[in-house]
Amino acid sequence: QNPDYHGFSADPDADVLNMRAVFFAGVSVAIVLGTVFLHYLPDYGLQQWARREAELQIRERESRGLPLLDPNYYDPARLTLPP
């Protein structure tokens, strides 16, 4: 009898009211929980960690008076080269 039956109640007014309440609560929960989930995702690709580590390395090298970038990644005196 109700052409706009949403499956919540036989009474048309209660059906519309329940449908709106369920969809409002569902969308609200999806938006809130979705944003909380996205906010607390782990550091994708360790980008934040890499930035923090680089800042620590820069501070350490500046405090020691070393250049920020060293042309030799390894100490050449400690490398054993083939003859």
Encode pLDDT of 9-29 as tens digits: 888 889 999 999 999 999 999
- Ramachandran quadrant class, 46 (left: phi over 0; alpha: psi -120 to 50; beta: rest): left
Looking at the predicted structure, is the pLDDT value of residue 1 above 80?
no
pTM above 0.95, yes or no: no
What pLDDT was estimated at residue 3? 82
DSSP 8-state secondary structure symbol assigned to residue 3: T
Is 40 in a helix, a strand, or coil?
coil
Counting every residue, how long is the chain? 83
Q: What's the confidence (pLDDT) of residue 2?
A: 74
Given a cut of 80, whether residue 42 has pLDDT beyond it is yes
